[in-house]
Structure 1
């Protein structure tokens, strides 16, 4: 798999990313590990597969798994209204327009369900892909979700439940549902049900003492094209555990979770989900709705426009491609990414899973997307050689 090493090195040498680590697994174990570049731009310490990254929205499928475990235990009904578990959700209204700079709100046409949180069809959004939410946050003085403050749960719906796929703070609400049904905080639910059983000792919601020398910072590119470490960091004393973005992990740790999904919910004899539940996670759960082909940015400092293209659906916590991608993942693969530029996929048909990591902003610049595609093509080429 030396061709993969070449892809990673070339991207760092070209300045496309500040650093990169990647890992590939199959149902039997890890089959590739590689990395290129420094852990901190300008320093000598190399990045690696044991480096800690902010995995941001790669947290979502972990929190979703915690919710699905509650479903299997019989304590959570996906079809139940969110407000039956979190009564405060009954106060969430739909943003229906503006009277000047004053938001116009109304009651939703129906009660949003827990399943709609899992599938991002509740109507909740994110500021970086919604100009209305950017304006609402400014008008109300409400910080965005990365602040780690409970006030973010006052954010309105952008559409009536069940009418559109809108990517948003759904999984943060889902974390609240997990807490209500499990009787423990989300960090404990994740540790007891997922990271503990799978031996993921390097995955946590907050930076642990001693990780300073193994964590890569969020990098920003200067006007001269060089990368530099920033002071950007997640709130280390949050008011809630963010099921939507809160985890730190390493490539070696997260691949254990990916391999558990690839194994139908089981890793090396340890089962975290039933096969039927995993099958449902990899099945279209949004019906005739589709993941948007293109999503314009509402905050260019956070993300570029996101262009998925046609033919994508959403399962439970996973983006699903409905067609084979030539030279890459097969139809029915599940994937997602994190805002600071981490990406993963699980391909049950081919029998592999992989992930690629860096930490920088904004999300998905064209040169980084080119790296991810080159990495994936090199992975599949190595399998067929």
Structure 2
């Protein structure tokens, strides 16, 4: 594909020059590899990023490999593999300052972990859970303490889409069934085969030196260095948020999904994962932030969407943008990607800014995607 990225380059350079972002990189891939890359400001060619929640799709890929091997069933209960999950109660309500817990009405399945309907939540998006942490002093998932995963569920499994530590539990399933750490498993079965040579849960000193610093958006729009970061050490390989890597590495992962699994997954698995697996469950109209320094409120986008196995899904063609069936997600430090198998194109945009869903960056992301599809439209003859 001949790809003129001058509009994207101007967009990124402009975002840096007007102070909207300190450093940002964009990558476009097709089924054969990268067709465009540009890094602006403090971002360089080999810059490392906190991948954060973009780890989820990679960990889910590992679990899907185990499904292909017949080692893991999508409708197996989580408790049948990890008995400790079966001990989790649902946080029902508070009597004054006393949390009231009850047994869940149903048992969560592996599929529900992959679709965020397993019942688990995140403290920064759930008021009940935030209050539970404040009252009990229990650590949250961003502390690096493994016991943070054992806080109560916030919903009965299979009833509600709720963003939370579901994928962390999925990573523990991969570890249990493979007999390896998640990092070790991914190195052997995803990172290694795809050439994702900088992807890691434990960056070396050399890799840390290449990490783009985290900046915090201030009320007046300026960026200041952020005191918030992922923990320097973690007691587990956090499948929900714990990995680091370059934009090129993540592009290789996107390319594999564009390219029918590219040897790490069967084509049928790729197709199955990017179907709607939510059934009658609807995505919320608003992800309401309880910790504004970490995330802004995230409104639902105004078109039909759902959730597959590990990915948010767009269910309709968006004019001048992605196609129906496109999978995507993001990371809390304002990193974003999409995988459009219908058009054979994917994009990754990375920076390191808090809070999540930063509007100047979202504007840049939309401009990036539209510029990509102007090029793709020009390159692909009308059917």
TM-score, scaled to structure 1? 0.94
Task: Report what 1:8 is aligned to.
Answer: 12
Deviation string for 1:99-132 (max 9, x for gaps)?
A: 0111111000111111111110011111111111
Please give the per-residue CA displacement for 1:323-349, whole angstroms capped at 9, x wherever unaligned. Answer: 111211011000000001100000001
- The 2-side partners of 1:213 and 1:366 are apart by 28
Pairwise CA distance, 1:236:
3.0
| Deviation by residue 1:207-244 (Cα, 9 ceiling, x = unmatched) | 11212331111112346643233343322321111000
Q: Give 2:381's aligned residue.
A: none
* Residues 1:221 and 2:181 are matched in the alignment: no
In the other structure, the counterpart of 1:21 is: 25
Q: Comparing 52-61 with 121-130, which one deviates more in the overlay? A: 121-130
Is residue 183 of structure 2 the alignment partner of residue 187 of structure 1?
Answer: yes
Deviations 1:151-182 (A, max 9, x none): 11221111111111111100001111111111
Any idea what SS the aligned residue of 1:329 has?
Answer: coil
For the residue of structure 1 that corresponds to 2:329, the secondary structure is strand
1:167 and 1:131 map into 2 onto residues whose CA distance is: 13
Structure 2 equivalent of residue 331 of structure 1: 324
One of 104, 109, 131 as aligned partner of 1:108: 104
In structure 1, the partner of 2:69 is 73
Asked if 1:117 is matched to 2:108, the reply is no
Instruction: Tell me what 2:247 maps to.
Output: 251
Aligned twin of 1:44: none
Identify which of 299, 305, 309 aligns with 2:291: 299
8 Å CA contact 1:23, 1:49 repeated in 2: no
- Equivalent positions of 1:322-361 (< 5 A) are 322-361=315-354
- SS of 1:143's equivalent in the other structure is coil
* 8 Å CA contact retained: 1:290, 1:314: no
What SS does the corresponding residue of 1:211 show, helix, strand or coil?
helix
Tell me the secondary structure at the aligned position of residue 209 of structure 2: coil
Between 1:210-219 and 1:28-37, the stretch displaced more is 210-219
Corresponding residue to 1:371 among 359, 364, 368: 364
1:281 is aligned, of 256, 268, 273, to 273
Q: Distance in 1 between matches of 2:33 and 2:104?
A: 47
Cα distance in 2 between the residues matched to 1:296 and 1:188: 35
Corresponding residue to 2:165 among 165, 169, 172 = 169
Stretches of structure 2 lacking an aligned partner (at least 5 in a row)? 379-383
RMSD: 1.3
Q: Distance in 2 between matches of 1:16 and 1:311?
A: 30
In the comparison of the two structures, how many residue pairs are matched? 373
Q: Is the 8 A contact 1:147 1:235 kept in 2?
A: yes
Instruction: Tell me if structure 2 keeps the 8 A contact 1:75–1:182.
Output: no
Calculate the TM-score normalised by the size of structure 2.
0.95
Tell me the distance in 2 between the aligned counterparts of 1:18 and 1:313. Answer: 33
Contact preservation (8 Å) 1:291, 1:313: yes
Q: What is the alpha-carbon distance in structure 2 between the residues aligned to residue 167 and residue 327 of structure 1?
A: 29
Tell me how far apart the structure 2 counterparts of residues 193 and 311 of structure 1 sit (CA, whole Å): 34
1:134 aligns with 2:138: no
Query: Does the alignment pair 1:86 with 2:82?
Result: yes
